[in-house]
Amino acid sequence: MVKAVVGANWGDEGKGKITDMLGKEADIIVRFQGGANAGHTIINNYGKFALHTLPSGVFYDHTTSIIGNGVALNIPTLMHEIEEIVKQGVPMPKIKVSDRAQMVMSYHILFDKYEEERLGGKAFGSTKSGIAPFYSDKYAKIGFQVSELFDTEENLKKKAERICDTKNVLLEHLYHKPLLDPQKIYEELLGYKEMIAPYVCDTSAFLYDAIKEGKQILLEGQLGSLKDPDHGIYPMVTSSSTLAAYGAIGAGIPPYEIKQIITVCKAYSSAVGAGAFVSEILDTDAADELRRRGGDGGEYGATTGRPRRMGWFDCVASKYGCRLQGTTDVAFTVLDVLGYLDEIPVCVAYDVDGEITKDFPTTVRLERAKPVLKTLPGWKSDISGIKNYNDLPENCRNYIEFIEKEIGFPITMISNGPSRDDIIYR
Ligand code: GDP
């Protein structure tokens, strides 16, 4: 049985915690897209961890962690992450890396940085992890697949030369930066070969067998629906699909095997980087307070430490985000944080040039959208530690039920704290 854990919004919904929690029942956890540009924060009995490349299942000794073919594989980052968790007492995880995954090269990171510099004020707010240049090369068919590391020396050298020829034109004439040396790129590849060799696997075949054996498999998404390159707020999106459907491609499994799609929705909104964010809290003090209280230590990027932009819950974006994921269950997270508010605004519709809509518009119209807010009463109490739905304060249940009705997908899990056990099933 394959389940996916994905985000409904702009990312940072708390997918890491939900995956870590569901990991208890899983045999295999798979990362199927994205790279080291975003991170999950996980708090468990070993401590607090920021994971960027490893799936959130690495803390259990009964699970196998897979880096699927859809991932932007940064090998030094992966090695560093493994070292860090082992240093903190986590048993060495079982990790398999797809032989069809492609590698983020040092020059992808340079190009990401140079392009943001070139764009200046019009930059995308990239984390400069090389993700956009990486995926551009993948689809331009000039990327390096892990399997190529095991090709002949001659072929690998020739390809390194070919890539440098192309890249150096841009470095010289567009960016005015130092040129790449093919020998250095070749040596970089040899270094990666040595590091990754123990983990390389035909993960698609491994998963196919696991499905046949009835193993429990979790697909873990990065970011959320609104950052999807096709269905999100293009161009302020990420470079690989954030949708559960892509889990089939990025892991190499049949799409019909994904039986449960758990879409994680945070009880308020946050976003990073530029782009339309309709329910953004414009009052700086109110936004600062929610940011400070948010998550488990404030709403700051797990990878970059950047303060996140804060907003009220957006029913329009979340309904759309859940629909695109193919949601079977909503996990509603970080609800405990809202206990300080007297009343809680919720965005129930958009006003686009005077037209009221509940449908999420394309980017051009989204930029002009204004939020239609409805204010719900707060519950003014600390709900952490509560285990049963009916023990939640009435206004808190009303908040959940109101949102459930607006988004039209069942909220079956409510997370009321950062730990694995802080969960209420409905
Ligand atoms: P992800 O990328 O979707 O995994 O999300 P992040 O890890 O960036 O953000 C979620 C943050 O909220 C993390 O710091 C979690 O530890 C924390 N978190 C997750 N669920 C809850 C919750 O229910 N309550 C609180 N207070 N924090 C939570």
Distances (CA, A) of 196 to 51, 77, 246, 336: 18, 12, 24, 41
Which residue's CA is the closest to the ligand 1 atom numbered 11?
295
* Residue 77 scores a pLDDT above 80: yes
Kindly tell me the sign of the dihedral angle through the C-alpha atoms of 56, 58, 62, 65.
positive
Q: Classify 418 as helix, strand or coil.
A: coil
pLDDT of residue 394: 98
What's the 228 CA to ligand 1 centre distance in angstroms?
A: 20
pLDDT tens-place string over residues 369-386: 999 999 999 999 999 999
pLDDT tens-place string over residues 157-196: 999 999 999 999 999 999 999 999 999 999 999 999 999 9
Q: Which residues are identified as catalytic?
A: 12, 40
Distances (CA, A) of 209 to 3, 29, 55, 219, 231: 16, 15, 20, 16, 32
Pair 408, 321: CB distance under 8 Å = no
Which residue's CA is the closest to the ligand 1 atom numbered 23?
334
Q: Where in the chain is the domain with CATH 1.10.300.10?
A: 102-198
- Location of structure tokens 């997270």: 333
Task: Return the higher-pLDDT residue of 209 and 419.
Answer: 209
What's the 186 CA to ligand 1 centre distance in angstroms?
A: 40
Distance CA 193, CA 190 (A): 5
Q: Is ligand 1 within 6 A of the CB of residue 333?
A: yes
Q: Where in the chain is the domain with CATH 3.90.170.10?
A: 2-87+204-425
Q: Is ligand 1 within 6 A of the CB of residue 418?
A: yes
Q: What is the mean pLDDT of residues 96-117?
A: 96
Would you list the DSSP string of 193-233? Answer: HHHHGGGEE-HHHHHHHHHHTT--EEEEEEEEGGG-TTTSS
The dihedral over CA atoms of 64, 67, 68, 71, expressed in degrees to the nearest 10, equals 160
- Please state whether beta strands 217-224 and 313-314 pair in parallel, antiparallel, or not at all (unpaired): unpaired
pLDDT band at 58 (very low <50, low <70, confident <90, very high): confident
What fold, for 102-198? Adenylosuccinate Synthetase, subunit A; domain 2 (1.10.300)
pLDDT of residue 49: 84
All residues at 6 or more sequence positions from 165 whose CB lies less than 8 Å from its CB, including other chains: none
Q: Is ligand 1 within 6 A of the CB of residue 420?
A: no
Pair 420, 18: CB distance under 8 Å = no
Q: Pinpoint the alpha helices (H) of 231-327.
A: 244-251, 284-293, 315-325
Q: What is the CA radius of gyration of the chain?
A: 22
Size of the chain, expressed as the number of residues it contains = 426
Which residue's CA is the closest to the ligand 1 atom numbered 20?
418
CATH 3.30.930.10 fits 2-87+204-425, yes or no: no
Instruction: Write out the two tokens for 365.
Output: 């119209």
- Give the N- to C-terminal CA distance of the chain in Å, as an integer: 21
Q: Among candidates 303, 212, 223, which has minimal Cα distance to 253?
A: 212
Instruction: Write out the two tokens for 414.
Output: 């409510």
* Residue 68 scores a pLDDT above 90: yes
How many other C-beta atoms are found inside a 10 Å radius of the C-beta of residue 36?
26
Among the residue ranges 1-5, 9-13, 278-282, 359-363, the one predicted with the least confidence is 9-13
What's the 295 CA to ligand 1 centre distance in angstroms?
A: 5
Pocket test for ligand 1, best of 15, 18, 29, 41 (most atoms within 8 A of CB): 41
Q: What is the pTM of this model?
A: 0.94
Mean pLDDT value across the chain: 94
Q: Among candidates 16, 238, 235, 226, which has minimal Cα distance to 127?
A: 238
Pair 33, 71: CB distance under 8 Å = yes
Q: Is ligand 1 within 6 A of the CB of residue 227?
A: no
Distance CA 333, CA 379 (A): 16
Percentage of residues of the chain with pLDDT beyond 90:
85
Instruction: Write out the two tokens for 153.
Output: 């020396």
* Residue 341 scores a pLDDT above 90: yes
pLDDT tens-place string over residues 249-308: 999 999 999 999 999 999 999 998 778 999 999 999 999 999 999 988 899 876 677 899
Q: What are phi and psi of 294, to 5 degrees?
A: -65, 165
Which helix (H) or strand (E) segment is 349 a member of? strand 343-352
pLDDT of residue 209: 98
Among the residue ranges 98-102, 108-112, 121-125, 265-269, the one predicted with the least confidence is 121-125
Q: Which of 79-83, 114-118, 247-251 has the highest mean pLDDT?
A: 247-251
Running DSSP on this structure, what letter comes out for residue 38? S
Distance CA 375, CA 373 (A): 6
Q: What is the mean pLDDT of residues 339-353?
A: 97
pLDDT band at 36 (very low <50, low <70, confident <90, very high): confident
What's the 41 CA to ligand 1 centre distance in angstroms?
A: 6
Q: Is ligand 1 within 6 A of the CB of residue 294?
A: no
What's the 15 CA to ligand 1 centre distance in angstroms?
A: 7
Q: Is ligand 1 within 6 A of the CB of residue 12?
A: yes
What's the 297 CA to ligand 1 centre distance in angstroms?
A: 9
Calculate the CA 308 to chain-centre distance: 15
Q: What is the mean pLDDT of residues 413-421?
A: 94
Q: Is ligand 1 within 6 A of the CB of residue 44?
A: no
